[in-house]
């Protein structure tokens, strides 16, 4: 048994970022053609698309501000015209900001997190789910976070937005299940990506001590789950919130 995405088209938001790049590559290795969304890093997205094309897959980079509905619509139109509408949608982009305790956090950070988590999901769904409904098939995988469960100090803007995202995803899963569309969430822990590898991996002994499997997760750990949920091996899984955090988060029944 293997994950086979041959003949599928995927779109990954935040596809030029640290986690996004690994998801893009993994979907491609499983046989999918992959459209790479970016906002500001056009060079990285274009280089990644060329890398995938050199391996025999179709790929292209597409820019959009995922907090702007008109920008998302324009991306949808360009993807449809030049690449083809995706069977698989990976909602992964998020605005980065400096974490502070709630009393010190800038109010604008709460708005940016809501817009890049909750409203991105709304805009992407409105633009791409109608096609999935027409073809009676679709896979949507959303990057959430262990922080939505842990609610630890210093991440109130991020946590509140991701918890809102969780609500949107669960409702959408119930609304589109009849159309053979699955909608699932991955909740990574503190994940190692290429950016950290380049600068030196933080051993984070206190964090690792709280992880039953005794290590930090990697971008490949997350990408593997994304590929599984994108495949027909997960055809009867929807509405799930799946921590990929080494056991640090164990949602209760």
Strand partners, 19: none
In a domain? residue 4: no
- Angle value at C-alpha 160, between 154 and 163, nearest 5 degrees: 130
How far is Cα 146 from Cα 242, in angstroms, rounded to an integer? Answer: 9
DSSP conformation letters of 194-247: HHHHHH-----HHHHHT-TTSS-EEHHHHHHHHHHHHSGGGTT--S-EEEESTT
Evaluate whether residue 249 is within a structural domain: no
- Residue 114 domain flag: yes
Question: What local confidence, expressed as pLDDT, does residue 55 receive?
Answer: 95
Domain that holds residue 178: 9-243
Tokens of 44: 């990285």
Residue among 38, 97, 111, 158 flagged as catalytic: 158
C-alpha distances (whole Å) from 205 to each of 187, 210, 213 are 21, 9, 13
Tokens linked to 54: 């050199």
Q: Provide, rounded to the nearest whole percent, the portion of the chain with pLDDT above 70.
A: 100
* Separation between Cα atoms, residue 215 and residue 115, nearest integer Å: 32
Q: What is the CATH number for 88?
A: 3.40.50.720
- Distance in angstroms (rounded) separating the CA atoms of residues 57 and 41: 21
**Number of domains, the chain:** 1
Residue 214: the pLDDT is 97
Is 158 part of the annotated catalytic residue set? Answer: yes
Q: Residue 209: which of 154, 242, 244, 248 has the closest Cα? A: 248
The shares of helix, strand and coil residues in the chain, as percent rounded to the nearest 5, are 50, 15, 35
pLDDT value at position 150? Answer: 94
Question: Residue holding tokens 């999935």?
Answer: 132
Is 241 within 8 Å of 144 (Cβ atoms)?
A: yes
Tens of pLDDT along 193-222? 998 999 899 999 999 999 999 999 999 999
The answer to the question of residue 118 being in a domain is yes
pLDDT tens, 34-74? 999 999 999 999 999 999 999 999 999 999 999 999 999 99
Predicted confidence (pLDDT) per residue in 1-29, tens digit: 899 999 999 999 999 999 999 999 999 99
User: In this predicted structure, what is the pLDDT of residue 253?
Assistant: 80
- Asked whether residue 79 is domain-assigned, the answer is yes
């Amino acid at each position: 048994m293997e994950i086979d995405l041959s003949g599928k088209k995927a779109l990954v938001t935040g596809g030029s970022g640290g986690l996004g790049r690994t998801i893009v590559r993994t979907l491609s290795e499983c046989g999918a053609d992959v459209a790479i969304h970016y906002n500001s890093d056009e060079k990285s997205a274009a280089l990644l698309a060329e890398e995938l094309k050199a391996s025999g897959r179709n790929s292209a980079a597409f820019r959009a501000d995922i907090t702007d509905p008109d920008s998302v619509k324009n991306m949808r139109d360009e993807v449809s015209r030049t690449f083809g509408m995706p069977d698989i949608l990976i909602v992964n982009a998020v605005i980065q900001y400096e974490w502070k305790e709630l009393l010190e956090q800038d109010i604008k950070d709460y708005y940016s997190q809501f817009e890049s988590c909750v409203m991105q999901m709304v805009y992407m769904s409105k633009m791409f789910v109608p096609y999935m409904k027409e073809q009676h098939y679709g896979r949507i995988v959303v990057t959430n976070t262990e922080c939505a469960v842990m609610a630890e100090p210093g991440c109130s803007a991020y946590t509140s937005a991701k918890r809102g995202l969780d609500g949107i995803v669960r409702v959408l899963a119930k609304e589109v299940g009849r159309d053979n569309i699955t909608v699932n969430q991955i909740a990574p822990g503190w994940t190692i990506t290429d950016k950290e590898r380049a600068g030196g991996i933080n051993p984070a002994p206190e964090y690792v001590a709280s992880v039953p499997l005794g290590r930090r997760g990697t971008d490949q750990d997350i990408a593997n789950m994304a590929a599984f949920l994108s495949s027909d091996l997960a055809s009867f899984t929807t509405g799930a919130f799946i921590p990929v955090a080494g056991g640090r988060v164990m949602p209760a029944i």
